[in-house]
Every structure is written in structure tokens, then in C-alpha cells.
Amino acid sequence: MPRFYDDSALNEGLVLDLIAGPKALGSNGKVLDFSKYHNNGTIAGATWTQLSSGLWVLSFDGVDDYVDCGTSLVLNPTTAITIEAWVKAATVTTSHQNVVSKHGADEAFILRNNTDQKWSFMLYDTSWADVVADETATAGQWYHLVGTWATGQPMLLFVNGQLQADTQAFTGSIHVSARPVVLGQIALKNNSEIFEGQIGRVRIYNRTLSASEIAARYHRTKWRYE
């Protein structure tokens, strides 16, 4: 049976909220952004797959697929950010696999699976800082990933609603990058750091989310991915 929740309190600060499907009105090869900014993602190669819950997700082939969400300035918050994504890797390898990125010779942020096969959240000022998950990822398993940071606070990574042990100070501001926000590979769109698997709902906020907010997001949405 469908379940409905009032998420209005968790919509504050949203600059990207990708959730739709091939039958969504006006989609036309795009994944629609339900934030007020309408940063719709243009789909290149990725295909829609419907889960048993009825939810539509995008499948990436690990060769050349991506989604380009554009270069709007609202997609480059500098003093606070949260990146949230539901993701299932088809394979877990010793290569970087980008889920959400705004980097490639002009850096800002990344949410990805690292060469050590652990999920990571990365920010760039004049150099990269990152936080890494406690455990290696398992292929074929859905994960709820949230990376969050604000000025004066450490970088944090949550996996399936649980705060990971690794924290990192990031004392600058996030570099303003001219690259687009891209799902599934590096923002240069040159088939580097390519992701193979499925990506569900993706959100970017211009604020931090608290541990309780992140837990609420996980528990309210996980049934769609079971």
C-alpha cells in the first residue's frame, strides 16, 4: 500500500530534487527537478527501470551513461551543502564510480564509490577533503547516502541513516565550479569515473541536514527500494 508523509520541513534549502519517471508530464528525455529551481537533468544513455514498489530509477551501463543537471549557480553552494542519493552499484571495483559530481579540471564536490570500494563525500576549495564510509560497499544492494557540511562544522557522511566514524575539517569554502552537476560520471562527461548500477532520488541542499533529519529521510523512503 502506498505510504505518504509530509516532507515539507525537509524541503527547506533544496536546490535539486530529482525524482520522476518516463511517464512524467513534460519529462521528454529528462529527469525532473521538483525543487523550485527546476534544474531538470538531461538523460544521456541512462534508462528508466521500475522497481517493485512502483518507483522509477535510472540505470547506468558503466560505459558512457550520465545525467546532466546544468550549471545554475544555485547548484554551487559555498558555505553549506548536503548531497543525498539512493544508489545501487551493479559492480564494486577498484575504480572511482561517481554518483553525483561537479568536478573535472574545475572542482567543487563529489559523492562516489572510491578505489577502496567505500562510499565517500568530497569537497574542494584549493585541495580536496573527504570523508569515507566505515565499510566496503556491496554490489546489488541499495544504499542511502548523505554527505553534509557547513562552515565551522566537520564534513559528515551518513550511510543508511547511520553516521560514519570518519570526519574531516573543511575550513575554506566550496570552490565555485563552472562544471555542470552530473550523475553517473565525471562532470567533464568524457566517460571517466563511470558508474554502473542504478540511481534513485537525488537531492542537493544549500544547508546541512541534522542527524535526525537524515534518519527521517532514510526511514521514510527506504521502503521504495526494498
pTM above 0.85, yes or no: yes
- Structural domain boundaries in the chain: 12-225
Place of cell 538523460: 43
CB atoms within 10 A of CB 226: 8
CB atoms within 10 A of CB 28: 11
- How confident is the prediction along the chain (226 residues), in pLDDT tens digits per residue? 344 344 666 889 999 999 878 877 567 789 999 999 999 999 999 999 999 999 999 999 999 999 999 999 999 999 999 999 999 999 999 999 999 999 998 999 999 999 999 999 999 999 999 999 999 999 999 999 999 999 999 999 999 999 999 999 999 999 999 999 999 999 999 999 999 999 999 999 999 999 999 999 999 999 999 8
For 12-225, CATH number out of 3.30.300.30, 2.60.120.200, 3.40.50.620, 3.40.50.300 equals 2.60.120.200
Q: Are 203 and 16 in contact (CB under 8 A)?
A: yes
What is the dihedral sign for C-alpha 16, 112, 183, 103? positive
User: What is the Cα–Cα distance from 111 to 17, expressed in whole angstroms?
Assistant: 16
